[in-house]
Chains A and B, each alone.
Chain A
Amino acid sequence: MSKKYFGLVALVLLLSLTLFGCGGQQAEEQPGGNEGQAEEINYDGEIKIGLMIPLTGSEATYGKDMENAMKMAADEINAEGGILGKKLVTISGDTAADPQQSTSAATKLVSSGVVSVVGGYSSGATLPTLNVFADANIPQVIPVANSTKIIDENPGNAIQINGTGFHQAEKALELFEGIWDVEKLAIVHQGDGYSEDLAKLTKEAWEEAGHEVVAFEVINKGEQDFSSLVTSIKSKNPDAVYWTAYYADGALLIKQLRQGGFQGEIAVGDGSNSPKLMEIAGNAAEGVVCTSNPMVEYLPAAKEFMENYKANYNQDPGPYSSLAYDGMHLMKDAIERAGSTDGDAIIKALKETEGFQGISGETTIADNNALANSNFVLLEAKGGQWKLIE
């Protein structure tokens, strides 16, 4: 008897928790501040812009960060009089970072009559939506999807404002050739799609530039001892080692490289731009340079954005919000340059984007509808912190 009763109480508790939790979440989803400001300005109608972000599923945190940032941008735009005198209204489509879900989210946005779309997180979820928007002639700014596949499959209505592997390899070359004067390079990756891709792109670019890759190695995930690999790398005498995967194993590798007496330069890819790298590797990380995507923490231009975001949402903006924020402002810029809400005109304006100043850097769109110049930055580990190399 008592057991049954216990179970019942537990069930009721659980249910009430869930209900309470949901209620709390719903309340949170209404960002304040929009109404009050909007009343004072007389808008000449509305412009609807769709947001494509994952609001549920494993990537929901990042999606929420991006939604916050884009809504913040929309509020700023509205406070300054909107776009072409019209009020900017955002409609969120939940992609769940899943190809099927995002296709239906895209269809929903199209049928609710959006003028344009800002968003697209993760390449897998973005690829199938490209044609949905293209068929309806809706312009799109894609802020966070870094597969080079998007360049190939872009039907022409979308631009990609985040850097791809090509851009990161380009930045790495800038570091090796321009700053370090490296000749012989060793590249180490972790065998997963992302780090292997970056390693291969860097290798190709490096060899094309007429230099030598003396070692191209891989580390198994979950192993801790890389001393044999370090000896093998050292025996090939590289001037620099480039690690293209993530911080946890990267820190171990850096530590063991220094422990093994390697004295050349060490660089790491954007998967390693966490401060944890320095925490784990300790002094060994000193002087390591990271080819990083533009992270707000390290960008002077993003200081105001950081503060506003924290004030509005009481949390850090996360890694992808700056690009989402820039994407929204870029869309506004393009619509105003186009001078109308006509799809073709906006698409043309988006493609002609040149030298647009955002918080994560300058955006110029190349003929392939992706970034013309790398927006990656170089961070140097100094005293246990990442410092931007200007």
Chain B
Amino acid sequence: MSTFDIFLQQLVNGLLLGSFYSLIALGYSMVYGIIKLLNFAHGDIYMAGAFVGLIALSFVSGIVGAGWLGILISMVFSMIAVGLLGVLIQRAAYRPLLNAPRLSILITAIGVSLVLYNSVMVLTDGEFKAFTTDLGFAGVGLGNVHITYTQIILVLATAALMISLNLFISKTKYGKAMRAIALDKDACRLMGINVNKIIAITFFIGSALAAAAGIMAGVYYGSIHFFMGFVLGLKAFTAAVIGGIGSIPGAMIGGLVLGLLEAAGTQLPFIGSEWKDVFAFSILILLLVFKPTGILGKTETERM
């Protein structure tokens, strides 16, 4: 492989990994934007999405097979189910604490995270579950660069989800309400906006996006387990911070930047893959030192 091939291939790798980060980072950013909560259970929502997707797929595959149609159906099912789970969590664990000190609700989020992954651990005996699909390794080759159709479709699906989200937030009444709540919750309430309902919608969308990422990860990597949300959740949170937490385009860019940095770190000459995270996170620290609000964050910004 020539240096240019390697560069191109790593670019593809980084973009794909980054798009997973972005999808999950969106959920962090939206929730933070609207109720100033760092929802640390979000990574586990992603994990739950993968498991619900696997269950759905095992039912659906008997009828339509485990190809793209089956995956699409289970993905829609998983997004709705996990979206509702997100709303339920918000209703049960976060809403009663909305006016409590920030720290209490943060600890609650960590508690929810523990509950989610421990439940799944018990239910699955802590085992890795194979996510079996009918997708092969076929794809297009540009010289030595190999991109599978699965990769292409996943990136396109991520892009489609993000564009729809952007349209939803900028064009619809609910999107406008979300942006308004991010600015001033109390004023919105006075203006007759049903704040609780909008918060619930925000949780639904964020959780559904994480579920979509979860099932895509299952399809792409081929195995899922109860702890898969932990590392990815942390990375996605980091991505949200790089992009400027609270900013939707920021979360998308932040995810891609982190993905690309990691891919670049793996390819560093002389030191090798052990230093990949050290490299990526050193750059992040530098970035935050010089721009503490993140790439697109502003100190006084409309947060949605």
Chain A bound to chain B: yes
The CA of A223 and the CA of B229, in the complex, are separated in Å by 10
- Within the complex, which residue of A217, A235, A255, A258 is in contact with B221, where a contact is CB–CB below 8 Å? A255
Segment at the interface with B among A48-56, A226-234, A325-333: A226-234
A248-B231 in contact (CB<8A):
no
- Within the complex, which residue of A235, A255, A256, A282 is in contact with B1, where a contact is CB–CB below 8 Å? A235
- Within the complex, which residue of A217, A223, A237 is in contact with B272, where a contact is CB–CB below 8 Å? A217
- Within the complex, which residue of B1, B6, B221 is in contact with A225, where a contact is CB–CB below 8 Å? B221
**In the complex with contacts A223-B231, A231-B10, A260-B146 CB distance below 8 A:** yes
The CA of A231 and the CA of B9, in the complex, are separated in Å by 7
> Does A279 interact with chain B (Cβ within 8 Å)?
yes
> Does A288 interact with chain B (Cβ within 8 Å)?
no
B153-190: which residues lie under 8 A (CB-CB) from chain A? Answer: none
B277-A252 in contact (CB<8A):
no
> Does A77 interact with chain B (Cβ within 8 Å)?
no
B93-135: which residues lie under 8 A (CB-CB) from chain A? Answer: 127-128, 130, 132
Q: Select from chain B the residue with minimum beta-carbon distance to A259.
A: B137
A248-B223 in contact (CB<8A):
yes
Q: Select from chain A the residue with minimum beta-carbon distance to B129.
A: A280
A234-B273 in contact (CB<8A):
no
What are the residues of chain A within 8 A of B272 when measuring CB–CB? 215-218
> Does A340 interact with chain B (Cβ within 8 Å)?
no
- Within the complex, which residue of B1, B10, B230 is in contact with A222, where a contact is CB–CB below 8 Å? B230
Q: Select from chain A the residue with minimum beta-carbon distance to B275.
A: A218
Q: Select from chain B the residue with minimum beta-carbon distance to A278.
A: B130
What are the residues of chain B within 8 A of A220 when measuring CB–CB? 231, 277
> Does A251 interact with chain B (Cβ within 8 Å)?
yes
> Does B91 interact with chain A (Cβ within 8 Å)?
no
Q: Contact mask A244-281 → B, CB, 8 Å, 1/0?
A: 00001001100110111100000000000000100111
A232-B267 in contact (CB<8A):
yes
> Does B217 interact with chain A (Cβ within 8 Å)?
yes
> Does B23 interact with chain A (Cβ within 8 Å)?
no
B146-A228 in contact (CB<8A):
no
> Does A224 interact with chain B (Cβ within 8 Å)?
yes
B225-A279 in contact (CB<8A):
no
A228-B274 in contact (CB<8A):
no
**In the complex with contacts A227-B13, A228-B10, A235-B6, A280-B222 CB distance below 8 A:** yes
Interface residues on B, range: 35 or more
The CA of A276 and the CA of B223, in the complex, are separated in Å by 10
The CA of A164 and the CA of B294, in the complex, are separated in Å by 50
Most chain-B Cβ atoms within 10 A of its Cβ — which of A255, A256, A261?
Answer: A261
> Does A60 interact with chain B (Cβ within 8 Å)?
no
B148-A259 in contact (CB<8A):
yes
Q: Contact mask A310-351 → B, CB, 8 Å, 1/0?
A: 000000000000000000000000000000000000000000
The CA of A248 and the CA of B224, in the complex, are separated in Å by 10
Nearest CB of chain A from residue B102's CB, rounded to whole Å: 28
The CA of A251 and the CA of B223, in the complex, are separated in Å by 9
- Within the complex, which residue of B6, B132, B277 is in contact with A231, where a contact is CB–CB below 8 Å? B6
- Within the complex, which residue of A229, A261, A276, A282 is in contact with B273, where a contact is CB–CB below 8 Å? A229
Q: Contact mask B272-291 → A, CB, 8 Å, 1/0?
A: 11101100000000000000
A279-B16 in contact (CB<8A):
no
The CA of A252 and the CA of B265, in the complex, are separated in Å by 20
A258-B137 in contact (CB<8A):
yes
Nearest CB of chain B from residue A363's CB, rounded to whole Å: 34
What are the residues of chain B within 8 A of A237 when measuring CB–CB? 1
> Does B266 interact with chain A (Cβ within 8 Å)?
yes
> Does A219 interact with chain B (Cβ within 8 Å)?
yes
What are the residues of chain A within 8 A of B5 when measuring CB–CB? 235
What are the residues of chain A within 8 A of B221 when measuring CB–CB? 224-225, 252, 255-256
**In the complex with contacts A231-B10, A248-B225, A252-B221, A225-B17 CB distance below 8 A:** yes
- Within the complex, which residue of B10, B217, B265, B276 is in contact with A224, where a contact is CB–CB below 8 Å? B217
> Does B14 interact with chain A (Cβ within 8 Å)?
yes
Nearest CB of chain B from residue A230's CB, rounded to whole Å: 8
**22 A-B pairs in the complex with CB atoms less than 8 angstroms apart:** A215-B272, A219-B273, A220-B277, A222-B228, A225-B17, A227-B13, A228-B10, A228-B14, A228-B17, A228-B276, A231-B9, A231-B266, A232-B266, A235-B1, A235-B6, A255-B221, A255-B222, A260-B9, A276-B128, A280-B222, A282-B130, A282-B132
Other than the known A228-B13, A282-B222, what 10 A-B pairs have Cβ atoms closer than 8 Å? Answer: A216-B272, A222-B228, A225-B13, A225-B16, A232-B267, A248-B225, A255-B221, A256-B221, A261-B141, A261-B146
